[in-house]
Amino acid sequence: MTLEAYPIEVDFPDLSAYAEGNTGIPYVYTFDSGRPGSHTMINALTHGNEVCGAIAVKALLDGRLRPRFGRITLAFANVDAYQRWDPERPDASRFVDQDFNRVWEPAILDNLELDSVELRRARAMRPLVDTVDFLLDLHSMHERCAPLNVCGPLDKGVAMAQRLGVPSWIISDAGHQEGRRLRDYGGFGKAESSQNALLIECGQHWEAQAVTVARNCCARFLLLCGNLDFEDVPEGWLKPHPEHRHVVRVTDAVVADSMDFRFADNYTGLETFEQPGTVIGWNGGEAVRTPYPNCVLVMPSLRQLRAGVTVVRLGRLLA
C-alpha cells in the first residue's frame, strides 16, 4: 500500500474557550432541559488527530444548542493529544501515551498502578459516561473511504444504526484485540442494558466532507434520541438519507506479526472480493486470504503498523 499524504482541507480550531467545562471535567459540558428524556452524549477527539468531530461539537457549543428534552453532553476527549497537532507529522497526535480508545476495560481503569495521560482522562470522564443513555463517538479514518457506522457486535447496535439511517455502510464488529473501545464500555456493550452507542467513522481525517458527515450524524442522533425537534437543528446540518444501506458483519481481524506486512494493492476500505481464497496481502511472508465469498475489507491501513496492530478487519456482506 502506498501511504499517500492526504491534503489537510480543514483548520484545527482553538478549543481553549471550552477548557473549563461545566461538569467539573475540563472540556466537557452537560446541558439539562429540566424535562424528562434521555441523557445523550456526543464525544469528539477520542483520537487527537480526528478533527471533524471537534469541529462539529465546537459548532454546537458556539451556537449554544440546548436540549428540548432530557440532557445533552458535549465532550472533547483527548485534548492533550489534540494540542500536539503538527501538520508536518499529522498522524503523530493520535494519542500521547496510549490509545484512548483501547483503555475502557474496568479492570484497567480500576488498576491505579497503571498510569498514562489517556488513563487519567478516561478515569476523569468515567463517572459521567456511566450516566449516559446514548453515546455518539465521532471518529475519522487514516484512508479515504466512504463513512462507516460502527455499531458493535450486538443486535441493539445494528438496530440503532438502522434507525439513524446514516452513513450507508453499517459495520457490526467486536472491537480490537488491543483493548476495549469507549463504545463497548459498560452498558453500551451489554445486550441486556438499555444503554446504546454508535461510533461513526466520518471519512478521511482531514477531508472537508468528513465535517459534513459529522454534523449530519450529530443532528440525526440528537433527533433519534429525542433531545431535539427538527426546528432545533442548525441550518444546513441535515443531509438526505442514502438510497441503500449495507450491513457488514466483521468476522476476523488481521493483526500484523511484525513490521513485515504488505497489502496486495492500495486498499482504502470496503473493497469486496467475490471469491474466497483471494490473496489480499502478506503477513511476515505468509499469504493473507479472504475466508469466504463477498468478503469486505474494513479500514485497511499500514499507517500505525507495528507488531500486534490490527491492519484490516474482514467482514461478511449481509445486505
Q: Which residues of 107-121 are buried (b: 16+ CB within 10 A; e: fewer)?
A: eebeeeeeeeebbeb
pLDDT at 86: 92
Q: Which domains does the chain have, with CATH numbers?
A: 16-232 (3.40.630.10), 250-317 (2.40.50)
CA neighbor of 116 nearest in space, from 288, 41, 124: 124
Contacts 24+ apart (CB under 8 A), 273-280: 273/297, 280/312
Q: Are strands 134-141 and 148-150 parallel, antiparallel or unpaired?
A: unpaired
pLDDT value of position 308? 87
Alpha carbons 17 and 204: distance in angstroms, whole number: 27
Burial of 319 from C-beta contacts in 10 A (0-12 / 13-18 / 19+): exposed
C-alpha distances out from residue 281 to 120, 144, 271, 306, 313, Å: 38, 19, 13, 16, 12
- Quick one: pLDDT at residue 3? 65
Q: Cell for 253?
A: 481481524
What count of other Cβ atoms lies within 10 Å of the Cβ of residue 64?
7
Q: What is the pLDDT of residue 53?
A: 98
Asked whether 241 and 262 are in contact (CB, 8 A), the reply is no
Give the cell for residue 250: 466483521
Per-residue pLDDT, 155: 97
Residue 183: name the closest of 206, 210, 149 by CA.
149
Give the residue ranges of the chain where pLDDT is below 50. Answer: 1-2
Are 151 and 158 a contacting pair, CB within 8 Å?
Answer: yes
Q: Three-class SS of residue 113?
A: coil
8 Å CB contact between 143 and 299 = yes
Mention every residue, 6+ apart, whose C-beta is less than 8 A from residue 44.
50, 53, 54, 56, 57, 75, 76, 77, 138
Residue 4, number of CB atoms within 10 A of its CB:
11
